[in-house]
Amino acid sequence: DQQVKQNSPSLSVQEGRISILNCDYTNSMFDYFLWYKKYPAEGPTFLISISSIKDKNEDGRFTVFLNKSAKHLSLHIVPSQPGDSAVYFCAASADDKIIFGKGTRLHILP
Amino acid sequence: KAGVTQTPRYLIKTRGQQVTLSCSPISGHRSVSWYQQTPGQGLQFLFEYFSETQRNKGNFPGRFSGRQFSNSRSEMNVSTLELGDSALYLCASSWSGGAYEQYFGPGTRLTVT
């Protein structure tokens, strides 16, 4: 039973445009959500997080939106840059347990 | 500040053998979590140690075990290796544990033949 789902295995976006990565979850007890970015041969690096009491958190080019009623969150990257090409993992946490999605590979096209 | 280090980076073992992987967290971090990454399953949580105690455990068989030392360094052991154990094993550390801003190491790539 997948509690955190990233339904798009890959996404291609033109450089300079907006990248939108989506994540759905099933457990309403999740109270904290995170996005991680992973390059090949490296461990994931923390990008941005959001608490369930908020619906938006912004950090530079990265914005995470949370829609609790739809159990959906999204990561917006504006503008997309070549260095953003990586695998992005969505993660959700409850009671100090964290569940990761399977990841979405983002390709930024020149 | 030095990052999370994992040794070895690459390992090849045969079925039935056992393996021990090591993780050194960022200085001052007391929580260490272990994850298995495979192409089909993404990142799957193995277990978390905090102050030498296992605090959380994922849904993995008992062949997977771990421990944490007083200096917060952690080891993960897999006994009776199976082909399906081939994966990237990632260690992450954080100051307080749980989900908050974990810092990942580069991983150990284990291949079981």
Q: Per-residue pLDDT tens for A3-36?
A: 999 999 999 999 999 999 999 999 999 999 999 9
Reply yes or no on whether the pLDDT at B74 is more than 90: yes
Q: Which residues of chain B approach chain A closer than 8 Å at the C-beta? A: 4, 33, 35, 40-45, 48, 55-56, 90, 92, 97-107
For B42, which of A32, A49, A102 is closest by C-beta distance?
Answer: A102
Closest chain B residue to the Cα of A87, Cα to Cα: B42
Average pLDDT value for residue range B18-46: 92
A20 phi and psi, to 5 degrees?
-125, 115
Length of chain B in residues, anyone?
113
Beta strand A56-59 pairing with A104-109? unpaired
CB A36 within 8 A of CB A47: yes
Beta strands, E only, chain A: 4-5, 10-14, 19-25, 32-38, 45-51, 56-59, 62-67, 72-77, 86-94, 97-100, 104-109
Interchain pair B44, A100: CB under 8 A: yes
